[in-house]
Chains A and B, each alone.
Chain A
Amino acid sequence: MATESVAIPPKKSIWGGGTSPLKASYGKLMMWFFLLSDAFTFSALLITYGLIRYSYPAYEGTPADFVFAPDQWWPIPEKVFEALPFLHGLSAPLVFVGIMTFILIMSSVTMVLAVEAGHRMDRPAVEKWMFWTILGGIAFLSCQAWEWSHFIHGTHEGSMVAEGTTFFGANLMQNQYGPPPFADLFFFITGFHGTHVASGVVLNMIIFYCVVTGVYDRRGHYEMVEKVGLYWHFVDLVWVFVFTFFYLI
C-alpha cells in the first residue's frame, strides 16, 4: 500500500534465488523435460522411417493401379490401411485411422476440461471428464488392437514374396505390403505410441481414483490432474505426427 521498501535493490536478477523464475512447480517442469526427451525418442523413430523409406524405391504409378509388390517398391499407406471392422471387402482408405485420430483428439479435449475443472476445485466435473478421457483412451487402444490384428492377418489375396511363395499379412521377418522394414516400423512406431497410450490410461486411472477418494481436495489443489494431462496431450501430439508421417505421406 503506502509503505515504501528501500531494502530491496532495484535490479535483482530473477535467477538470484528466493523466487521461482519459471513460475511452475518442480513436478510440472520435470514432466515438461521428460516430454521433451520423449519427443526425441519418437522423432528418432519417425525419422528412421523416413531414412529407410528413402533408401527403397518409391511407387511411381497412379494410386488406382497400385499393387503390393514387396520386392519392388515401398507401399503407399492409403492402400495398406483401407479396411474397416464389420465392413469386410469395402475399400475405405484411411477412414479407420481418421476415426482413431478423432477419438484421441476428443479424449484430449475431455482432459483439458478435467484440468479446467480442477482449477475450479469442481470435483464432480473433474470426475466426469477424467472418466470420458479414460474411456477415450480405451477406445483408441481397442481400435489399435483391431488394426494390428488386421495388419498381421492381411488380405485375402496376399502377395508374392522373394522366395516365390504367396504370403499373407505381416510379421517381423516379411510382409505382403512391402519391404520387411515397412512392417517392422509399423509395429515399432504404432506399438511404442500404443504403449504410451496404455500407460497414460493407467496413470489416468490412478489419478481418477485419487480424485474420487478426495486426495486432491484435502491437498488443496488439482495439480496432479494437470501433470497427467500434459502427458496425455503429448500422446495426442505424437499421434498427430504418426498420422501424418506414417499414414498420409
Chain B
Amino acid sequence: MATEDYLAHEETPQIKVIPPDKARIWKIWKTMIILAVVTLIEFAFAFSMDAGVLRTSIFVGLTIVKAFYIVSEFMHLKYEVKVLIWSILIPTVFIVWLLLALLIEGEGIFNLRF
C-alpha cells in the first residue's frame, strides 16, 4: 500500500520494462571483440611488415572492415530500409573520387618540386 501511495505522486507514468534479450546483448559484445581483434591485427602488421603499397592496402582493407561493423551493427544501418542504406552509402563515392584526384595531384606537386 505504501509503495502504491508513493507511485501515485510520481509524475512519470507506469513504465513496463522489457527484460533484456541475452542474444542481442551478446551480439553487441561480439562486435566489440571483432573491432578489438582487427585493431590488434593492424598493430601486428604495423610492427612486422615494412612500409609499402601492400601494407597500406592491408591497413585500408582492415579499416573498411572496422567501419562496416561500426556502421552496420552499432549504427544499426544494416537493419534499416534499403532505400535509406543506399541514400547514405552512394554519396560516399564522391569521397573515393576526391581521394584519387588529390593523391594524383599530390604526386604531381612532388614531381614539380623535387
Contact = CB atoms under 8 A, between A and B. Distances in A.
B73 to A, nearest CB: 8
B3 interface: no
A98 B43 contact: yes
A116 B76 CA distance: 11
B81 A233 contact: no
Contact of A47 (B29, B92, B98): B98
B95 A248 contact: no
B15 interface: yes
Given A23-B81, A48-B102, A94-B43, A116 B28 contact: yes
A157 B47 CA distance: 24
A40 B95 contact: yes
A248 B55 CA distance: 10
Which applies to chain A's interface (DSSP): helix, strand, loop or mixed? Answer: helix
Interface in B22-68: 24-25, 28-29, 31-32, 35-36, 39, 42-43, 46-47, 50-51, 56, 59-60, 62-63, 66-67
A22 B75 CA distance: 16
Contacts of A234: 75
B99 A50 contact: yes
Contact of B106 (A36, A52, A217): A52
Given A76-B51, A240-B67, A241-B67, A116 B24 contact: yes
Given A108-B32, A234-B75, A240-B63, 20 more contacts: A21-B83, A22-B83, A22-B87, A36-B91, A47-B98, A51-B106, A54-B103, A54-B107, A57-B110, A76-B51, A94-B43, A106-B32, A112-B28, A120-B19, A121-B15, A121-B16, A122-B18, A123-B15, A217-B13, A248-B42
